[in-house]
Amino acid sequence: MNQGMRGFSIMRKEKIINLKEYNKRIQLNDGRENDIGNLNDIEEIKSNKRVQDMKKEYKKIPVPSELKSKVEEAIMREKNENKRGSILKVTRNTGIVAAAAMLSLVVLTNSSPSLAYAMENIPVIGAIAKVVTFRTYTDKTENHEAKIDIPKIETEGENQSINDASQKVNKSVKEYTDMLIKQYNEDIKENGKENYYGMDSSYKVVTNNDRIFTLRIDTVVSKGGSANFSKFYHINKNTGKVFELKDLFKENADYITVISDNIKKQMLGQMAADESKSYFYNEADLQEENFNEIKPDQNFYFNDKDELVIVFDEYEVAPGYMGMVEFTIPSEVTSSIIN
């Protein structure tokens, strides 16, 4: 598609220029041009015998019997590639008014530690804390379904700064999951009773070493297709501070450009090497959707090799079939600006 569409917009521009010229010419040279331009003429042309004959002939063009299976095959091929299959874009308007919807709201508070343990595999953050499901928001009606786990970091140690950082993350997590719940209620109201809508949100501890703790919340919204998006929270265990992307770099360092340029390079490289990969970058028919730069607080985490991995939500920089995409930034790219 990329190439086809690109070709088309270029072609279109040329033609528009040529056509201006052409119109000028025919208006000068051909008086008959002035007689036309009336839509009624078209009905007249349609009933013209020659046009009728041509149409009959055209409709007689034989269609090969194997064409249908070829079309089905193309659809299947694309479907197999598109494991996540989806078109939905989640609206993330935050100025939401809570919907007073008629829902069965079930709140499971993990009052007893044994229940909490039973419900999740509880990751332990060093010796100081664990993550539990604080509560789960669930809703189930005929066509609407929600299961939103709200995690909570529990601290046990004396380290005040870690305790504070954990509190801070818990607060942010709550705000975020509250936003999801509001979004769900808004969306099902807008979507109507008869259309399916589901939201599933879970969490995972991505990194937990002696320096960094990273909690990730993954949300899937399904509505015919599905949309996947995530949110990451990080605590620096040495300083006991919550941090985001900008905090990794020296003050005033242009980390956005450095990282974005590397990602663009990777996008082009991947697309050149593998035809099935596609990113919203350098696409003539996309304008504002093209990837320009990462957000200042773009999602990220550190992988096993301690490399920086930048994470994009589904649709953020690539078509839905690519799912959520990640780019590992080689350490030499950021070595001069990293803190």
Residue 268 CB, shortest distance to another protein, in Å, is 19
Residue 218 CB, shortest distance to another protein, in Å, is 20
C-alpha to C-alpha distance for 105 and 220, rounded to whole angstroms: 19
Q: Tell me whether residue 50 or residue 305 sits nearer to another protein (CB atom).
A: 50
Residue 243: HSE in the Cβ half-sphere, 13 Å Cα cutoff: 20
**Residues contributing to the site for another protein (CB under 8 A):** 1, 3-5, 7-8, 11-12, 15-16, 19, 23, 26, 32-33, 35-37, 39, 41-42, 44-46, 48, 50-51, 54-55, 57-59, 61, 63-64, 66-68, 70-75, 77-79, 81-82, 85-87, 89, 224-225, 278, 315, 319-321
Residue 24 CB, shortest distance to another protein, in Å, is 11
Q: Tell me whether residue 19 or residue 268 sits nearer to another protein (CB atom).
A: 19
Q: Tell me whether residue 7 or residue 296 sits nearer to another protein (CB atom).
A: 7
Residue 75 CB, shortest distance to another protein, in Å, is 6
Residue 324 CB, shortest distance to another protein, in Å, is 14
Q: Tell me whether residue 25 or residue 246 sits nearer to another protein (CB atom).
A: 25
Q: Tell me whether residue 35 or residue 332 sits nearer to another protein (CB atom).
A: 35
Contact 200, 62 (CB under 8 A): no
**Main-chain phi, psi angles of 285, to 5 degrees:** -85, -5
Q: Edge-to-edge, what's the strand order for the sheet holding 299-302?
A: 299-302, 308-312, 325-329
C-alpha to C-alpha distance for 263 and 267, rounded to whole angstroms: 6
Q: Is 69 exposed, middle or buried (0-12, 13-18, 19+ CB in 10 A)?
A: exposed
Our CA angle for 150, 156, 161, nearest 5°, is: 90
Q: Is 233 exposed, middle or buried (0-12, 13-18, 19+ CB in 10 A)?
A: buried
Contact 88, 224 (CB under 8 A): yes
Q: Tell me whether residue 301 or residue 321 sits nearer to another protein (CB atom).
A: 321
Residue 63 CB, shortest distance to another protein, in Å, is 5
At a CB cut-off of 8 Å and minimum separation 6, what does 233 contact? Answer: 169, 172, 173, 214, 215, 216, 217, 242
Q: Tell me whether residue 44 or residue 297 sits nearer to another protein (CB atom).
A: 44
Residue 91 CB, shortest distance to another protein, in Å, is 13
The two three-digit tokens of residue 175, written as one number: 């705000």
Closest residue by Cα to residue 253 from 154, 151, 338 = 338
Residue 90 CB, shortest distance to another protein, in Å, is 13
C-alpha to C-alpha distance for 338 and 121, rounded to whole angstroms: 34
Report the first-to-last Cα separation within the chain, whole angstroms. 42
Residue 197 CB, shortest distance to another protein, in Å, is 16
Q: Tell me whether residue 23 or residue 93 sits nearer to another protein (CB atom).
A: 23
Q: Tell me whether residue 20 or residue 265 sits nearer to another protein (CB atom).
A: 20
Find how far residue 120's CA is from the centre of its chain.
27
